[in-house]
Structure 1
């Protein structure tokens, strides 16, 4: 499927919303079918050359600003003029990435006159501030959730590895929840295993000591044990408020969604990041803070163990659920404080970051990342993703949020290009082996009552 604007292929080549769902529909609504009160909150741009581009721009805005509704969506997109693509890129992405697009397209032998003119004609286009005023769900605060009143049973799943001091806080936060109809399943991979640690918590808790250090095995194991119709995935280095579970349920009920992905912040008192501060269709899944119907696992399977001790396993499951047509909302009020403890957990199993290596001769990115990209978006999109992300990953993780340091990393990558090429080729080869083996997704058996008929 073509993306809503062609330049998305360079800017977000492996984004969920580039792909059509299994039913052939995109996530982007036809603007003519949107409610009038939604259209009034969008900014019409009459400077586009084509009417198609004007409509696509409004549809893009609707999704990004938080439209969650029943309007019919596009099943395909037509090409729009190059100048309209440059206008779109300038409105919604930084000038650095617009210049990147121009350079890439010139080196890809597109018509240089058309490209330079498109770039030049849009040079005065300002970056849009449309996200400063997202769509408002004014009825949410007063909404009385029937789902909460029904008190569905929830299974809270926590894999843990060598983090008992932090896990104590996690379990104490669960003791304080205002919604109490839940169990806790802990898959403990710690060495040494401290069985007495769990004795004093006032929770319905199941603890399994798993000797193999394997995150996705642990989560899959717990899901198969779960008694609840809803699964709440949690991390062992997080803190939550007492209304955390009830907010997840309320959001699920209000939007008639199948999954709710909560927000994570990394410092006490830190504001919610602006692009997560409102409800919207989620383009990610964070297994440290997501509530979903168990039926989703029954329909599409458990987590893919090709991601064991690597990265992107939660992203892959999120994409699988999106493609299957399940609605996942980004929930700004189901917040957690993610401490990102530097030891234990996945830190003891692999890299902190998907694109940063721990030594010079390790693959870059982690092979599971390329397995994920190539499996769903194909080899070409994976290459575009590498070009966009690998040069910026040269600098250490602590500089991840610094644009000057990321730019420096891109320049440094030119001087160590042979090493970077070696790392990428190694990752590509290892990802290819994963693709050849195929997904390691176990099906979750549907539990059904069997009635014995007596004559």
Structure 2
């Protein structure tokens, strides 16, 4: 990784991993176009030229560079003081202090660490989010893909949310891009077949008796006729250009996946870190369009995440590692209502790190399965140390820094219970790792030969 302190600050981030071809996500800055380099700010206060280059590469990715410049394959170590400088530029002072404490307790040279921390104390936070890269040609872009009118399959799993699903389907009726079908996997009890009668849509409805989210999505993808799959939620609202924007974004950037933005309140601004185009570091199955060919190549969703968490994150990482380009699309928005009943709330925990009792595993075992499988045991432990103490407070306080800090203090008083929860989760995750990924192959019918071909998926 560019800066070694990221193993503490972002221990299980997509971009810490190299892709299967050995390349990282970070471009060599001397190979970037002048139009990109001119928007980046070189920090001459780093003690090493290598750190200056790495910082520029970090800026390029964070500011929205999407291109094909050659990337780094290996990274050399840089001075400790430069790592502290980087941490102070892009992370809060709380997390910089956290890194210092962790490194002192890990028996790194205390003089070097304290001096590095102290010498960088006046470094200001970067304001890169205020000046992202702008793709000015996007607005006037005439998409050939849209002109070709490919069929899009919209996939919606639903569970006991008919009032909200009604609005979802009305929004789809208003779409200004019309070559699409809708597949709904309805797990509701009771199932109301008459609900679907009057919608003016190319609509297929399957009643699935087992309440299983990833089974539902996998089943719909196998049924899909479209070359593009648009994954959607049953408690969301979208504007009439939603499908068109996703397709346009794919075409403009020659991407494979388009991850849309979610907001939770009507009229709320798009969060600053999602307000511009960039390479996405996540996948939200409530608002993402992707080529069906991605599923054909790497398989369907891993059912080890059934009734748990992070199944979408795992698929996003799998596609990233395989070399597919996933863009974060600021114009493909949805309003995510996050209603208080139905959906995931009826099928398991809403939050990956919060439990309903002191005797349940923390985090949800699928989270540790995911972390350990891709980043290894050490990175998983760093992630636990960073996140678990802050997860003690209830979900409604998730955005409050004071409450998160209070949670960290509370975790010290209930440390035996927290350790019990983590050990239990680790053990259950070990069982999942021994069993292995439950990724089904996708059978595709060849138009030329009229036969079904099995594409090998990761196991």
Q: Assess same fold via TM > 0.5.
A: yes
| 8 A contact 1:298–1:444 mirrored in 2 | yes
Which whole-Å CA distance do the structure 1 matches of 2:340 and 2:277 have between them? 31
Task: Give the aligned partner of residue 363 of structure 1.
Answer: 361
Task: Give the aligned partner of residue 384 of structure 1.
Answer: 382
In the alignment, structure 1 residue 259 sits paired with structure 2 residue 263 = no
Which whole-Å CA distance do the structure 1 matches of 2:447 and 2:337 have between them? 42
Which whole-Å CA distance do the structure 2 matches of 1:423 and 1:201 have between them? 47
Q: Secondary structure at the match of 2:219?
A: helix
Alignment of 1:11-22 (within 5 A): 11-22=9-20
Alignment of 1:387-406 (within 5 A): 387-406=385-404
Which whole-Å CA distance do the structure 1 matches of 2:279 and 2:30 have between them? 20
Task: Give the aligned partner of residue 200 of structure 1.
Answer: 198
Which whole-Å CA distance do the structure 2 matches of 1:451 and 1:41 have between them? 51
In the alignment, structure 1 residue 83 sits paired with structure 2 residue 81 = yes
Which whole-Å CA distance do the structure 2 matches of 1:114 and 1:343 have between them? 53
Q: Secondary structure at the match of 2:102?
A: helix
Instruction: Find the partner of 2:159 among 158, 161, 175.
Output: 161
Q: Secondary structure at the match of 2:312?
A: helix
Instruction: Find the partner of 1:112 among 110, 113, 121.
Output: 110
Task: Give the aligned partner of residue 22 of structure 2.
Answer: 24
Instruction: Find the partner of 1:244 among 242, 245, 249.
Output: 242
| 8 A contact 1:43–1:130 mirrored in 2 | no
| 8 A contact 1:160–1:236 mirrored in 2 | yes
Q: Pick closer, same or farther for the CA change 1:394–1:451 going to 2, 3 Å.
A: closer
How far did residue 430 of structure 1 move?
0.2
Which whole-Å CA distance do the structure 1 matches of 2:387 and 2:9 have between them? 10
Give the 4+ runs in structure 1 shifted more than 3 A. Answer: none
How far did residue 86 of structure 1 move?
0.1
In the alignment, structure 1 residue 272 sits paired with structure 2 residue 270 = yes
How far did residue 449 of structure 1 move?
2.3
How far did residue 130 of structure 1 move?
1.6
Deviations 1:159-198 (A, max 9, x none): 0000000000000000000000000000000000000000
Cα RMSD (Å) = 0.6
Which whole-Å CA distance do the structure 1 matches of 2:218 and 2:339 have between them? 23
In the alignment, structure 1 residue 442 sits paired with structure 2 residue 405 = no
* Paired residue total: 450
Alignment of 1:204-353 (within 5 A): 204-353=202-351
Which whole-Å CA distance do the structure 1 matches of 2:50 and 2:405 have between them? 35
Which whole-Å CA distance do the structure 2 matches of 1:238 and 1:124 have between them? 44
Task: Give the aligned partner of residue 425 of structure 1.
Answer: 423
Deviations 1:120-173 (A, max 9, x none): 000010111122110000000000101000000000000000000000000000
Task: Give the aligned partner of residue 410 of structure 2.
Answer: 412
Which whole-Å CA distance do the structure 2 matches of 1:242 and 1:4 have between them? 41
| 8 A contact 1:21–1:324 mirrored in 2 | yes
Q: Pick closer, same or farther for the CA change 1:451–1:353 going to 2, 3 Å.
A: closer
Q: Specify every segment of 5 or more residues in structure 2 that has no aligned partner in the other structure, as ranges.
A: 451-459
Q: Secondary structure at the match of 2:354?
A: coil
| 8 A contact 1:215–1:308 mirrored in 2 | yes
In the alignment, structure 1 residue 134 sits paired with structure 2 residue 113 = no
Which whole-Å CA distance do the structure 1 matches of 2:424 and 2:299 have between them? 30
Which whole-Å CA distance do the structure 2 matches of 1:449 and 1:398 have between them? 51
| 8 A contact 1:263–1:335 mirrored in 2 | yes
